[in-house]
């Protein structure tokens, strides 16, 4: 494959993988034999400006989304608490993104003091990050993230028909974890995987030595998959994925220890936060003529809290519960054809997502749940036209239809629009490509936040509300070449996102409703530069973005889903010692000060991590030891994607909100693959 072929618009991430892991092609026969018995348990992370192979991610001992994604320029992860993970892309959080786990859309908004995602990083096979809306095949305003979990086919190597893995990890600040996996090819057509993971957490210390409160809890994840190859070109797969996070947590897990101590002292609330996902997928491959991936899923989330303690300020004195019952269908078909000298790759399909939110204010009293529902339908068609492997043009069209209804008020509303996209690439010389894209945006109003209480869950439809629209424009350059034993790859994007008729929740006369606030703009740059020689790989990344909200009317609302990030600098170095089967890694993230549109100054910080992994430890095949230190210099810092700054609480006065990250953390993981 030539580099010009490799850097087609759809192949950039895969090509970057090929180049970034180019040293693998130089493995000795001894190393190749080792790969027949050893499975690297990691997550391959790709983005439209960067690829991180699973070898590097395995070194990071990922037990949190931040371990996976903070190396990607333009991406940050907010929230230190296990129930408060928030993906942030270019300053927009997951409420403006399409996040999928094995094809199941994770759109949720249960409670503003917790995150909307429950994801176990350990079981992920891949994470594909699309920064910005560059295609009509998804409806995310700020982009999309697709997580795929492992299955038996990913883990079986060589002629092995069965396998397994046991893992134990220890973090001195302050966490232990265990997991067990069994997988196999039971017949020529049936394969299955069973996985269990448990993480027990204590209250960690931040870089200043202060111990947090309310982080002591347990996360359990069960995953089961069974696949059946109906024929050589047809497959169905059924999976069940349950993640349960439980413990005695603070009333506001997204806020720092000073805030929680000021408001509730040492009072903790029994909490359970659960995601349960069932996926049924069907794949058909008829060659170039037609390939289909169809997924039906049910994805339910439940937040349960026992708030009967009368010492809790403004307590509900009841057991409360919020529920999100999500159901969806995704269809993606691909056809490849030729018209004269032009080759076409046509993608077409639909996304249908139905969400019902319920809120029970007192479970023991049997208070009926307040219900609300949203239905989101997207139908798309996109064609990549390939002119002689040097010019690519990708036009697309998407029909969007969105409806909401509120049982408590009897209100309903609907919005629809047709959006267009156009992308292209020109291969200037072998290894050097210029890319560009323009995509129109569409988003309807969110359902009411259910767990905030009955006033938040009761909402009326604003008859004058327009859908949030806008566009995303990007220009970029990609370069990848090998020079003897050396290899280099580079990429850069400039983008501008315009959000017209920006939607946020407002209230008046005791009623909650959505309102259009005006126009906002986000613009910035993302870049990466990688260089490798032999067993050495170096990487540098940079990202910057600015949110312009000067035209927004913020008199009565807050834009909580926008958290601006300072300039991001990333550095990494990897070296493999073949004689010892040892891999060493250093990576650093440096964030500059950021003054937000509201005038808040977010302090910058710099964090360094080091790690080593030894395979076939003590000559035992499949035995691996990974050791590392996160936050090597014990920096006291708060991610810009987390709660920062201060607020004047209506009852307790000015409070510091900083959700400070863990301090120095020594991590050891031992695993045995069978």
pLDDT value of residue 146: 94
Output 296 or 485, whichever has higher pLDDT: 296
Output 324 or 656, whichever has higher pLDDT: 324
Segments of 502-596 assigned E as strands:
503-508, 511-516, 520-533, 536-548, 568-577, 582-591, 594-595
Beta bridge partners of 218: 200, 246
Structure tokens given for 604: 């910058």
pLDDT value of residue 4: 33
**CA atoms of 219 and 120, how far apart (whole Å):** 9
Neighbours of 322 (CB within 10 A): 27
pLDDT band at 232 (very low <50, low <70, confident <90, very high): very high
Neighbours of 418 (CB within 10 A): 11
**CA atoms of 311 and 12, how far apart (whole Å):** 56
Structure tokens given for 316: 């509900």
How far, in Å, are 69, 78, 248, 540, 656 from residue 72 at the CA level?
6, 14, 33, 10, 29
Q: Is the pLDDT assigned to residue 223 strictly greater than 80?
A: yes
pLDDT value of residue 263: 87
pLDDT band at 26 (very low <50, low <70, confident <90, very high): very low
The length of the chain, given as a count of residues: 674
Mean pLDDT of 132-137: 94
* CB-based contacts of 239, cutoff 8 Å, min separation 6: 102, 149, 223, 224, 225, 226, 277, 278, 279
- What share of the chain in percent tops pLDDT 70? 90
Asked if residue 208 lies in contact with residue 201, where contact means CB atoms within 8 angstroms, the answer is no
pLDDT value of residue 309: 92
Mean pLDDT of 79-85: 94
Report which of 440, 253, 290, 451 is spatially closest to residue 361, judged by C-alpha positions.
Answer: 451
Q: Is the pLDDT assigned to residue 315 strictly greater than 70?
A: yes
- What share of the chain in percent tops pLDDT 90? 72
pLDDT value of residue 47: 84
How far, in Å, are 192, 341, 362 from residue 458 at the CA level?
44, 58, 16
Neighbours of 238 (CB within 10 A): 14
Q: Is the pLDDT assigned to residue 243 strictly greater than 80?
A: yes
pLDDT band at 159 (very low <50, low <70, confident <90, very high): confident
Output 665 or 647, whichever has higher pLDDT: 665
**CA atoms of 115 and 111, how far apart (whole Å):** 8
pLDDT value of residue 49: 66
Q: Is the pLDDT assigned to residue 557 strictly greater than 50?
A: yes
pLDDT value of residue 55: 65
Cα torsion angle, 587, 593, 47, 635, sign:
positive
pLDDT band at 1 (very low <50, low <70, confident <90, very high): very low
Burial class (CB in 10 A: 0-12, 13-18, 19+), 464: exposed
Give the helix ranges, DSSP H, for 108-209.
152-155
pLDDT value of residue 457: 56
Report which of 394, 293, 379, 292 is spatially closest to residue 343, judged by C-alpha positions.
Answer: 394
Beta bridge partners of 406: 372, 411
Highest mean pLDDT among 272-286, 499-513, 596-610: 272-286
Asked if residue 442 lies in contact with residue 16, where contact means CB atoms within 8 angstroms, the answer is no
Lowest-confidence pick of 21-30, 340-349, 413-422: 21-30
pLDDT band at 512 (very low <50, low <70, confident <90, very high): confident
φ and ψ of 6, to 5 deg: -60, -35
Lowest-confidence pick of 91-105, 357-371, 484-498: 357-371
2-32 in b/e form (b: 16+ CB < 10 A) is ebbebbbbeebbebbbbbbbbbeeeeeeeee
pLDDT value of residue 30: 35
Mean pLDDT of 202-210: 96
**CA atoms of 300 and 323, how far apart (whole Å):** 7
**CA atoms of 38 and 105, how far apart (whole Å):** 33
Q: Is the pLDDT assigned to residue 524 strictly greater than 80?
A: yes
pLDDT value of residue 369: 83
pLDDT band at 218 (very low <50, low <70, confident <90, very high): very high
Mean pLDDT of 555-578: 85
pLDDT value of residue 25: 34
Q: Find the helix or strand (DSSP H, E) in which 217 lies.
A: strand 217-231
Strand bridging mode 44-47 / 124-131: parallel
Left (φ > 0), alpha (ψ -120 to 50) or beta: where does 509 sit? left
Neighbours of 188 (CB within 10 A): 8
Mean pLDDT of 233-256: 96
CATH number at residue 393: 2.40.170.20
Mean pLDDT of the chain: 89
Asked if residue 502 lies in contact with residue 552, where contact means CB atoms within 8 angstroms, the answer is yes
pLDDT value of residue 11: 32
Mean pLDDT of 173-191: 96
How far, in Å, are 125, 162, 238, 579, 673 from residue 187 at the CA level?
23, 11, 17, 38, 22
pLDDT value of residue 8: 31
Mean pLDDT of 118-127: 92
Asked if residue 641 lies in contact with residue 33, where contact means CB atoms within 8 angstroms, the answer is no
Report how many domains make up the chain.
1
Asked if residue 240 lies in contact with residue 278, where contact means CB atoms within 8 angstroms, the answer is yes
What's the domain range around 477? 3-673
pLDDT value of residue 21: 32
pLDDT value of residue 91: 92
pLDDT band at 556 (very low <50, low <70, confident <90, very high): low
Left (φ > 0), alpha (ψ -120 to 50) or beta: where does 177 sit? beta
Output 15 or 338, whichever has higher pLDDT: 338
Mean pLDDT of 560-582: 91
**CA atoms of 75 and 561, how far apart (whole Å):** 15
């Amino acid at each position: 494959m030539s580099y010009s072929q490799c850097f087609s618009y759809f192949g950039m991430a895969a090509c970057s993988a090929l180049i970034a892991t180019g040293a693998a092609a130089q493995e000795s026969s001894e190393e190749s034999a080792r790969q027949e018995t050893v499975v690297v348990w990691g997550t391959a992370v790709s983005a439209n400006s960067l690829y991180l192979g699973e070898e590097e991610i395995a070194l990071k001992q990922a037990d949190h989304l931040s371990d996976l994604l903070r190396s990607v320029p333009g991406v940050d992860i907010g929230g230190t608490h296990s129930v408060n993970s928030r993906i942030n892309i270019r300053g927009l959080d997951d409420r403006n993104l399409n996040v999928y786990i094995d094809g199941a859309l994770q759109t949720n908004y249960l409670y503003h003091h917790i995150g909307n995602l429950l994801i176990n990083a350990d079981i992920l096979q891949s994470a594909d990050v699309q920064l910005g809306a560059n295609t009509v095949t998804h409806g995310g305003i700020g982009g999309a993230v697709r997580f795929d979990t492992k299955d038996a086919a990913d883990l079986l190597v060589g002629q092995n028909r069965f396998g397994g893995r046991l893992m134990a990890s220890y973090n001195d600040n302050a966490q232990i974890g265990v997991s067990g996996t069994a997988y196999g090819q039971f017949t020529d057509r049936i394969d299955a995987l069973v996985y269990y993971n448990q993480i027990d957490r204590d209250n960690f210390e931040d870089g200043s030595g202060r111990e947090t409160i309310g982080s002591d809890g347990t996360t359990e994840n069960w995953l089961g998959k069974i696949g059946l190859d109906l024929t050589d070109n047809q497959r169905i797969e059924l999976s069940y994925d349950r993640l349960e996070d439980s413990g005695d947590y603070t009333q506001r897990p997204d806020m720092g220890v000073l805030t929680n101590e000021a408001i509730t002292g040492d009072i903790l609330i029994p909490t359970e936060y659960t995601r349960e996902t069932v996926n049924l997928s069907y794949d058909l491959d008829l060659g170039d003529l037609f390939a289909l991936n169809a997924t039906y899923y049910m994805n339910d989330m439940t937040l349960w809290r026992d708030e009967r303690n009368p010492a809790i300020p403004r307590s509900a004195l009841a057991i409360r519960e919020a529920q999100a019952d999500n159901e969806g269908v995704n269809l993606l078909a691909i056809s490849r054809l030729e018209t004269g000298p032009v080759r076409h790759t046509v993608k077409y399909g639909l996304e249908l997502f139905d969400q019902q939110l319920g809120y029970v204010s007192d479970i023991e009293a049997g208070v009926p749940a307040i219900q609300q529902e949203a239905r989101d339908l997207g139908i798309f068609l996109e064609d990549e036209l390939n002119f002689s492997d040097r010019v690519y043009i990708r036009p697309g069209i998407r029909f969007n239809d969105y409806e909401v209804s509120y049982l408590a008020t009897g209100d309903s509303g609907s919005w629809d629009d047709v959006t267009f996209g156009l992308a292209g690439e020109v291969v200037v010389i072998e290894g050097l490509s210029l890319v560009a894209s323009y995509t129109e945006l569409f988003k309807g109003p969110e359902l009411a936040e259910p767990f905030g209480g009955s006033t938040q869950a009761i909402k009326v439809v604003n008859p004058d509300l327009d859908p949030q629209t806008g566009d995303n424009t990007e220009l970029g350059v990609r370069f990848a070449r090998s020079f003897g034993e050396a290899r280099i790859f580079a990429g850069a994007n400039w983008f501008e996102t315009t959000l017209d008729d920006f939607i946020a929740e407002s209230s008046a006369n005791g009623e909650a409703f959505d309102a259009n606030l005006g126009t906002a703009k986000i613009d910035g740059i993302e870049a990466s530069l990688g260089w490798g020689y032999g067993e050495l790989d170096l990487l540098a990344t940079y990202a910057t973005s600015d949110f312009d909200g000067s035209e927004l009317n913020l008199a009565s609302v807050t834009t909580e889903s926008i958290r601006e990030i300072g300039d991001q600098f990333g550095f990494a170095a990897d070296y493999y010692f073949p004689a010892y089967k040892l891999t060493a890694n250093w990576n650093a993230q440096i964030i500059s000060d950021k003054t937000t549109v509201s005038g808040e100054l977010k302090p910058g910080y710099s964090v360094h991590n080091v790690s080593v992994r030894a395979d076939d430890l003590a000559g035992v095949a499949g035995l691996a030891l990974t050791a590392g230190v996160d936050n090597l210099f014990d920096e006291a810092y708060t991610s810009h994607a987390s709660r920062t700054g201060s607020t004047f609480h209506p009852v307790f006065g000015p409070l510091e909100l900083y959700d400070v990250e863990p301090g120095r953390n020594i991590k050891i993981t031992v695993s045995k693959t069978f």
